[in-house]
Structure 1
């Protein structure tokens, strides 16, 4: 059985993923933005899940999260599920935090990043971005294009790690809204499969997936020039590179 760390796992897809993986016998580390959110996962903690707490919009918290998760140790996979839909925290939560956690957690051999079909409407320009989140300088679509490019960059640069992106669909969560047309169950099945399955496809890297089917992402996501430029900006804003993964 695997040990999986899931960011943003107190509600929505993250919580559903944690519940399913724990039920299937895996070890789960859940993440809450603050201790006030922990009661939402108490039923998982009572069944043996472990927890870490930290605000992904705050770099110091992200660094402490990585240290706490590394302290638990033995993590086989990370599902970067957490995300926000709007506001100044878009870049810090949706892009900077997954990058920094990845850079500071060299152990896991499977990395799963939550993207969105909306990434195809993202802006491939990297100019004028406020990575610290003091102002809103990117759309949700743009952040999902960037995290998809991060995923594919890791697949290119760190071949011993399986790095994949997932479009969960428009599902009825707090973020998606009750009228969302896609299946909540199918919305978390692919990331569970990528994190734990021994299927050859699940062990491969560099995929963009929707309901366990490979899809073609925005061309910029697979462009090494765009990937390298993005990584350079993320390294600059965090003061941390991906060298520990190589």
Structure 2
């Protein structure tokens, strides 16, 4: 069973459709009931869809509870993200929501984080980080990479990878980006369908391992980010993994 955040359009929906075609059971996510009604005809008929606004911490926590009632997932794909939005919204959706879900969900076999080639432009400073200040898009993707690395460090048996899908024609890019949407979703489909031990704790671009900015490897900064997220969300990092790691 696979869960994909932000899967009612773009990369998330394309990945969901392909994974369903390959025989996987996929749970989709929409940000609101209104959004779900708008796109219902485009969604796979067999898929279950859960609703939560990822900028609302209480809704994210409720989403985690709903997902846990379904059991333990094989793969969680953290796909949802916002780009041209207020900084506080960018932080809540792109960083804090994945932190909360990763910490509260039953431990899956695999997590996949959708990142961006803009992450090297992000800042590693957390001194003024708050729910009100938020962060720019590049910084949110650097922080998301740091979150992924921190989880991978603390849960070594968990299959965990980050994926740069390229600059693809989605709503985020006003549908004008030059890269292929199909290539952009292929890597996460490939990883979610694989049990290859070599495909683990890596950063991928178009189904090939790629380099990422080394400042994300700063363990002290990772821990500082985790502490900030814990304080802002009231959620202990990897809370649901207690007794399992």
For Structure 1 versus Structure 2, the TM-score category normalised by the shorter chain is: over 0.9
| Cα pair distance change 1:157/1:81, threshold 3 Å | same
Shift of 1:177: 2.7
Q: 1:107: which partner in 2?
A: 107
TM-score normalised to structure 2 length: 0.92
Shift of 1:42: 4.4
Q: Could you report, residue by residue, the CA deviation over 1:78-107 in whole angstroms, capped at 9, with x for unpaired residues?
A: 000000002130100000000000000133
SS at structure 2 position matched to 1:89: helix
Residues 42-191 of structure 1 mapped to structure 2, 5 A cutoff: 42-46=41-45, 48-85=46-83, 86-87=85-86, 88-130=88-130, 132=131, 134-135=132-133, 137-191=134-188
Shift of 1:141: 0.1
Please identify, of 112-121 and 193-202, the stretch whose mean Cα deviation from structure 2 is larger.
193-202
Aligned residues: 238
Q: 2:217: which partner in 1?
A: 222
Shift of 1:43: 4.9
Stretches of 4+ aligned residues off by more than 6 angstroms: none
Q: Could you report, residue by residue, the CA deviation over 1:97-149 in whole angstroms, capped at 9, with x for unpaired residues?
A: 0000000013311001111000010001012112x3x44x3110000000001
Q: 1:13: which partner in 2?
A: 11
Q: Could you report, residue by residue, the CA deviation over 1:194-219 in whole angstroms, capped at 9, with x for unpaired residues?
A: 222123333x2x21111111112111
SS at structure 1 position matched to 2:29: strand
Please identify, of 5-14 and 72-81, the stretch whose mean Cα deviation from structure 2 is larger.
72-81
Residues 12-31 of structure 1 mapped to structure 2, 5 A cutoff: 12-31=10-29
TM-score normalised to structure 1 length: 0.92
Do the aligned partners of 1:29 and 1:49 also contact (CA within 8 Å) in 2?
yes
1:244 to 232, 240, 243: 240
